[in-house]
Amino acid sequence: MAAAAITPVVMPKWGLSMSEGTVVSWLVEEGTTITVGLPILEVETDKIANVVEAPDPGLLRRKLAAAGEVLPVKALLGVMAPPEVSDAEIDAYVAAYVVPAASEGDEAEAGPAYLWAEVDGIRVRYARRGDEAPTKTPVLFLHGFGGDLDNWLFNLDAVAAVAPVIALDLPGHGQSDARLPGSSTLTDLAGFVLHFLDHIGVERVHIVGHSMGGAIAAQMALAAPRRVASLVLIATAGLGVEINAGYTEGFVAAATRRELKPVIEPLFADPTLVSRQMLDDLLKYKRLDGVSQALTQLGATLFGGGRQAELPVPRLVGSGVPMTLLWGSEDRIVPATHAANAPAGAIVHVISGAGHMVMMEKAGEVNPQIVAQLQGQPAS
């Protein structure tokens, strides 16, 4: 009976390739009453540091993981239990706890972390997660300029709990081929993604798009409205002409960690989230054959002269596609003031204390908004 009353706090799995994390610090003390969504400790991965938010309520009785410890996914970090559970019962629970093996977890059931497809002669990397029942409409995640599907490391699992998810490395990004479709216009990119969906046998999707990915999502809804069930556009391009050319041009030009760091830091309200590993991963990607040319072409086509060349989002007025727009209040790449240009009927949320990568910095606020839109119940 006592074991049933005990709630474990475990190392989360952020991203498809995470196998372990480092405990940075606890943010609450033993004896604290925990509410759902309360930040309880900070964890660092090889991608980024972030807070672990409580998925369940309870009384924190025991902190087990110490700052600096490197522990595998699902390792026991702490224990929550009501006062009537004795210390001896908690001791017994901790002693008996076994970190679930990979074969016992969701990853084994979900299949390989990454999949590959060749579409219009371009090889792309993608991932699928969640219950792919025929009655469930999948959610397609599209990243922004210079990003990849790992930009959604704090979002995919949360959304996959309610709907199947698909995340794609767009052409010229991540581990996909460093080639672009057509002339790299939004029309070309949207057409490519629709062909990708054809290739994997998916007719209709909800789309979550970030920055450039949001503009591509909007163009898809214009080109094939029956194939787009809803849109969640995060810090989206395609709604106003202003854009921080220092980022788009600086990202293309940066060739060293010293040059890249001041370009990447403005993506976040908290620049300390930009780790050495993050910079090294980006530089490794930028040094791949063809990437520099692809980014140069894409930047010139979509953001040449420091202005957005195409604005598809306002054209969705009257389309009937349900839409939620999310922005970080401290976005220094695409200004949050663009939210005022949202089509009539769109739900808009500006999230305080977040920058352009709001889905990473404030996943605990972004994920419920995505889920609400999927379920047709967006909060106004």
Mind listing the pLDDT tens digit for each residue in 43-86? 888 777 778 888 889 999 999 999 999 999 899 999 999 999 99
The predicted structure's pLDDT at residue 105: 44
Q: What percent of the chain has pLDDT over 90?
A: 78
pTM metric for this prediction: 0.84
Domain that holds residue 15: 2-105
User: Which residue in 311, 310, 380 sits closest to 345, CA to CA?
Assistant: 380
d(CA 354, CA 5): 36
pLDDT tens for 299-309 read 999 999 999 99
Confidence tier at 102 by pLDDT (50, 70, 90): low
Residue ending a domain, among 42, 72, 105, is 105
Q: Which two tokens stand for residue 199?
A: 């290739």
* Shared domain check, 118 and 52: no
The predicted structure's pLDDT at residue 358: 97
The predicted structure's pLDDT at residue 376: 87
Whether 110 shows a pLDDT value over 60: the answer reads no
Confidence tier at 109 by pLDDT (50, 70, 90): very low
* Shared domain check, 171 and 33: no
* Shared domain check, 93 and 162: no
pLDDT tens for 184-225 read 999 999 999 999 999 999 999 999 999 999 999 999 999 999
Contact 77, 54 (CB under 8 A): no
Residue ending a domain, among 86, 105, 124, is 105
* Shared domain check, 58 and 31: yes
Q: Look at residue 163 and tell me if it is in a domain.
A: yes
* Shared domain check, 119 and 92: no
* Shared domain check, 338 and 196: yes
Q: Look at residue 379 and tell me if it is in a domain.
A: no
The predicted structure's pLDDT at residue 104: 44
d(CA 260, CA 276): 11
Phi-psi region of 273 (alpha: psi -120 to 50; beta: other; left: phi over 0): alpha
d(CA 244, CA 266): 10
pLDDT tens for 245-275 read 999 999 999 999 999 999 999 999 999 888 8
d(CA 325, CA 267): 18
* Shared domain check, 130 and 37: no
Domain containing residue 21: CATH number: 2.40.50.100
Q: Exposure pattern of 175-185 as b/e (b: 16+ CB <10 Å)?
A: bbbbbbbeebb
Average pLDDT, the chain: 91
Whether 156 shows a pLDDT value over 60: the answer reads yes
* Shared domain check, 126 and 51: no
User: Where is pLDDT greater, at 358 or 112?
Assistant: 358
Residue ending a domain, among 56, 81, 105, is 105
The predicted structure's pLDDT at residue 103: 44
**Mean pLDDT to the nearest integer, 310-336:** 95
Whether 111 shows a pLDDT value over 80: the answer reads no
In terms of C-beta density within 10 A (0-12 exposed, 13-18 middle, 19 or more buried), how is residue 213 classed?
A: buried
* Shared domain check, 317 and 229: yes
* Shared domain check, 310 and 200: yes
The predicted structure's pLDDT at residue 380: 63
* Shared domain check, 277 and 178: yes
Domain count, the chain: 2
Other C-beta atoms lying within 10 Å of the C-beta of residue 196: 22
The predicted structure's pLDDT at residue 54: 85
The predicted structure's pLDDT at residue 108: 42
